[in-house]
Structure 1
Amino acid sequence: MAIQGPIPVTFNQVFPHGCYAVGEVEPVKDFEASSNGRFVQARDKHTGELVWQIPVMDADPSLKAAQKTVAVKVLSPVQPVPPAPVAGLPITPVEFDGLTITPYVNGSGRLAYSIKATQMHAPRTSAKPSTKEVAA
């Protein structure tokens, strides 16, 4: 098979309706290296970068409640900082760059995906071109 390792995807492919940060950025524990109360942070197997994670809520209205929250792992040498909260919203809109997915079979035998990113930032606003013609 030609595809090996993480599969590159765009933010809009994974979260076409957007997503919202619903928790804090935390380091991911390397369970094999951590022992006797000593915490060792995980490093990505392909890049060697430290691995952090943040829970996000998928804004897709067709998802069931149990499917809405997923963890996105962010690969970064320093702890990523979520975007500033938006006034009047109880949750923070967020976007990711450098996304990859890795499919795997979870403990219950179902297909699942690990989502990784290289950057986290506030949603970009795109200026839409005017559809009105300018009279000469």
Structure 2
Amino acid sequence: MSIPRAFRVDFGEMFPHGCYMVGEVEQVKDFEASTASKPVWARDKDTGDFVWQVTVVDCDPEAREKMVKIKVSSAVQPVPPAPLQGLPFIPVEFDGLTVTPWLNGQRIAYSVRARDMRAPRAGASVSKPAASAKDAA
């Protein structure tokens, strides 16, 4: 049996209530190769593209972790969607999401990666969770 290292996940499954970008898009350092005087920027092992990090707030009221860091692989810095008037944060969606579990001491943590970042599709900025069988009855 072959188990993938990273599991693909749909944006709507991971963020059923949507998410908002906070802060800036930041380039990720390769901490093993960097020195104090000369930073070396991390590259995606599969594509060779630079790795960028975006911090988002999960809008799910029941989410355990509200802040999620998503790494985006791209040859150039990803451009966030335009801010919407009256909102303090930028609504954003990601394509090509993968989740890689790893052991962080005694607990399981997750590394989240994406292929692309974009504005939410019209009418989809806040997705509604699928109805359960209990709700349908």
TM-score, normalised with respect to structure 2: 0.85
After TM superposition, give the deviation of residue 125 of structure 1 in Å.
Answer: 1.4
Q: What's the counterpart of residue 80 of structure 2?
A: 82
Q: What's the counterpart of residue 120 of structure 2?
A: 123
* Structure 1: unaligned runs, 5 residues or longer: 128-136
After TM superposition, give the deviation of residue 4 of structure 1 in Å.
Answer: 2.4
Identity %, equivalent residues: 59
Number of aligned residue pairs: give it: 124
Runs of 4+, deviation exceeding 6 Å: none
After TM superposition, give the deviation of residue 46 of structure 1 in Å.
Answer: 2.1
After TM superposition, give the deviation of residue 126 of structure 1 in Å.
Answer: 4.7
Q: What's the counterpart of residue 110 of structure 1?
A: 107
In 2, Cα distance between equivalents of 1:46 and 1:8: 15
TM-score, normalised with respect to structure 1: 0.85
One-letter amino acid matched to 2:117: M
One-letter amino acid matched to 2:83: P
After TM superposition, give the deviation of residue 58 of structure 1 in Å.
Answer: 0.3
Query: How do residues 58-77 of structure 1 correspond to structure 2 at under 5 angstroms?
Result: 58-64=58-64, 67-77=65-75
**Coordinate RMSD, CA, aligned:** 1.4
In 2, Cα distance between equivalents of 1:126 and 1:3: 36
After TM superposition, give the deviation of residue 32 of structure 1 in Å.
Answer: 1.2
In 2, Cα distance between equivalents of 1:76 and 1:105: 26
Q: What's the counterpart of residue 32 of structure 2?
A: 32
Q: What's the counterpart of residue 95 of structure 2?
A: 97
After TM superposition, give the deviation of residue 62 of structure 1 in Å.
Answer: 0.9
Q: What's the counterpart of residue 47 of structure 2?
A: 47
Structure with higher Rg: it is 1
Q: Deviations over 1:35-86 (max 9, x none)?
A: 142111101122222100011000001125xx10011000100000111101
SS at match of 2:13: helix
After TM superposition, give the deviation of residue 109 of structure 1 in Å.
Answer: 1.9
* Structure 2: unaligned runs, 5 residues or longer: 125-137
- Structure with the bigger percentage of strand: 2
One-letter amino acid matched to 1:110: R
